[in-house]
Structure 1
């Protein structure tokens, strides 16, 4: 029996139901195995009082300290989070807050390994906790935790230290593995592809789905948080060169107002809809209705929405970043373009002029499955857990 403690700062809750859904799905798959017992620790960062009373934090502060969600035991301990300049202090603050809880959990659930789901701040936090408890730990890299966070002051060194100290490392694509090695991490990194639910994400009648949305003509969907790194402003610029097409934004974030204003200035606002965050189970209807999924991100590891769109029979147009070439490996899957509106518009128009069959597109996603994801994760973690014994030590000097 493998006993896993999953550490994930990004994990769905009633306060943020769409946050880290792919982590939840991966965790559910691993926990469903007969040879695995698993609990989740999803720390909740709150600023000092009275900032903690701000509406932005209020819902998080009301989350239960322990709950059962989708058959998973989830602990949500609080830790002190300092906005902006305090980011570099997060792992130590989190580790100090979590260590007493983890020692208490181990009395009834003697977990064998800590599985950190992101490199920041989960990775360095797991490093401190694993050292204090004398157990192995693994870290999974997903994209921004390697491409963005290491550029922040006081953070890059912590990420590299955690990568070198980890008993095992995972990357969502071969390209991200190469990026990790360029940072100085060891080459013993396993590539762990995402999965997709083929019963949920599958082709549908595109014409009927468009009609249900009240859309006529070509339909383009872009899905992701509305933040600069996702490059949605480029999608708006490309739309100006794709006559009669409608663009749906699925997701929300701080850039929404700027994007709405830009759509008005460029005269395409009547062909743009901002749908906000949507439950994961509604995405197949949106992807399936679209002729193309366009996501002009500046960086990605291997985006789940790429694979989910393909499983729905909808080709994708994306920049040649991260694991893009590992997903768009045939013409039916879509196009890789420069992060340039004109180039993206040309790619979109090419696909619209000669659309691939939905089933042909779907076949490009068949190698991504949650069954393979769960099996690979189990083999990775069980191998690490059995490499060394786990005598507990009460020392906390590693991060104080």
Structure 2
């Protein structure tokens, strides 16, 4: 079938599998997968999405964390292409995670077979386990090339979770026709050369941003007459919010109007709020919780400096969103975003878990607002040039073509 597409007779047909894809229960989850799919569609690719959600008994509808899943429709088309939500068996706290490729393959079987019957050129799975492992089962049986994107959790968490999970990740990547990594960090820091079948099929393609969602500001200085910091991300220890909070007392002595706004929610919220209170930061810190994407972007447009000193970050899209808004960024050395910071003067990379380095970086940007604005301007130009979703889709399409030719 791919030969017909290569001759220009019809569109390439891609079946994309991602349990992270946004839905009504998790509208922001995996938004980068949705944005990539939309960009591929704009390039003329016929994309169909299979985005499984957990099966939940009807009697639990509306109750607890998973109570909204029964209301997620089986089929929707919010962006003009079909998004299927078959039910798969999952367990709280990812218990029995090593068996998820089997439960996923069983749950998605009917919709996968129907789409394959209608015509599919290749399968693209986001994450190796469980999505990629489940996709590979269908790829093998129906002789379809499989492309797998690694976003970070496969290497940072799944490889270490259990021997069965590690074997699943490695077998899936060895079986895949092509593998996309979202940062050089993923290629260089997890020993790929010791277990990958061939490094040539591993391609680094950075995530992008949707520039149409950027909120223009006529005069950002009128938004708030303060030195404003912003963090956007899940409230987990590895995101580094606590490090920023610990940096604030010293900074406030020099910048008494400092304002730190935190967008996001998670398991650490109560402890972070307690830490802010303990440090006497009530007048300087605002926990905004999880916000719709457009509201988070408005916060982005109104800050002076974006800071997220995360030490487990493959390549966070949120940094690119900050750059797209013309903001200097503070990230962490050795993480995915450092690949950008090391090559371009658009922000500052600090050592991981280093409060004094965070203080120094914020102080530098606040003391020299002109330099900070120049960083932001360079960052905005960089994103427009190299980090749009269209750029990502063009590179991804090249990987698809390689997979089809080699299969």
TM-score normalised per structure 2: 0.88
1:239-264 per-position Cα deviation (integer Å, ceiling 9, x unaligned): 22221321111111222122111211
Measure, in 1, the Cα distance between the counterparts of 2:194 and 2:130: 17
Alpha-carbon contact 2:61-2:69 (below 8 Å) kept: no
Measure, in 2, the Cα distance between the counterparts of 1:47 and 1:146: 29
Q: What does residue 225 of structure 1 align with?
A: 234
Q: What does residue 25 of structure 2 align with?
A: 15
1:152-192 per-position Cα deviation (integer Å, ceiling 9, x unaligned): 12312211111111110001112212235256223121111
Residue 360, structure 1, aligned to residue 378, structure 2: yes
Structure 1 unaligned residues grouped into runs of 5+: 211-215, 389-400
Structure 2 unaligned residues grouped into runs of 5+: 1-10
Measure, in 2, the Cα distance between the counterparts of 1:31 and 1:171: 21
Structure with more contact order per residue of length (Cα contacts < 8 Å, sep ≥ 6): 1
Task: Give the total of aligned pairs.
Answer: 381
Call closer, same or farther: CA 1:234–1:46 in 2, change over 3 Å. farther
Measure, in 2, the Cα distance between the counterparts of 1:330 and 1:168: 27
After superposing on structure 2, the runs of 4+ consecutive aligned residues of structure 1 that deviate more than 6 Å are: 48-53
Out of 326-335 and 117-126, give the one that drifted further: 326-335
Out of 251-260 and 281-290, give the one that drifted further: 281-290
Call closer, same or farther: CA 1:379–1:147 in 2, change over 3 Å. same
Residue 165, structure 1, aligned to residue 154, structure 2: no
Q: What does residue 90 of structure 1 align with?
A: 100
Q: What does residue 347 of structure 1 align with?
A: 361
Alpha-carbon contact 1:160-1:183 (below 8 Å) kept: no
Measure, in 2, the Cα distance between the counterparts of 1:175 and 1:183: 16
Q: What does residue 184 of structure 1 align with?
A: 195
Residue 114, structure 1, aligned to residue 123, structure 2: yes
TM-score normalised per structure 1: 0.89
C-alpha deviation, 1:202, in angstroms: 6.8
Alpha-carbon contact 2:327-2:377 (below 8 Å) kept: no
Q: What does residue 208 of structure 1 align with?
A: 222
1:13-36 per-position Cα deviation (integer Å, ceiling 9, x unaligned): 1221111111110110001223x2
Alpha-carbon contact 1:92-1:128 (below 8 Å) kept: no
Question: Which residue of 388, 391, 395 corresponds with 1:372?
Answer: 391
Q: How does 1:279-298 map to 2 (within 5 A)?
A: 279-298=292-311
Q: What does residue 274 of structure 2 align with?
A: 261
State the secondary structure of the residue aligned to 2:323.
helix
Superposition CA RMSD, Å:
2.1
Call closer, same or farther: CA 1:48–1:62 in 2, change over 3 Å. closer
Measure, in 2, the Cα distance between the counterparts of 1:146 and 1:51: 34
Alpha-carbon contact 2:183-2:314 (below 8 Å) kept: yes
C-alpha deviation, 1:332, in angstroms: 3.9
Structure with the bigger percentage of helix = 2
Q: How does 1:9-88 map to 2 (within 5 A)?
A: 9-34=19-44, 36-46=45-55, 54-84=63-93, 85-88=95-98
